[in-house]
Amino acid sequence: MRSRVGLVLIGVVAAGAVLAMVAWLQAGGDAVTVDQIGDQVQTLPHGQLPVFAKGADVAALYRFAVERGDVLQHIPCMCGCGGIGHTGNRSCYVKGEAGGRVTFTSHAAT
């Protein structure tokens, strides 16, 4: 009896997670992928933050990178990522922007 209740509970939790993911995708969020250097990447409409921008401080930094990219693009990164094409600190947060959408990278979060 206990195992049956446990299985039902697991099924309900899994179904809830799937429904939440479907609703999130319908709201315009893309799935998280991994790029050629192993960073997570996610493209979202302006105003949304990626799933890897966890915690208030990290979320604030990602928000700043989008809203004040004009500042961060002139600040060199200290992790040595220029060799992978980053042109300034903003590149550690944002891979690109087009059509009202932002492509984020987890490079700064990891």
pTM surpassing 0.95? no
Q: Where along the chain do its domains lie?
A: 1-29, 31-108
Residue 50, sorted as left (phi over 0), alpha (psi -120 to 50) or beta, turns out to be beta
At 21-69, the pLDDT tens digits run 443 444 457 899 999 889 999 999 999 999 999 999 999 999 999 999 9
pLDDT the model gives residue 110:
77
Give 3-state DSSP helix, strand, coil % of the chain, rounded to 5. Answer: 45, 15, 35
In percent, how much of the chain has pLDDT > 90? 52
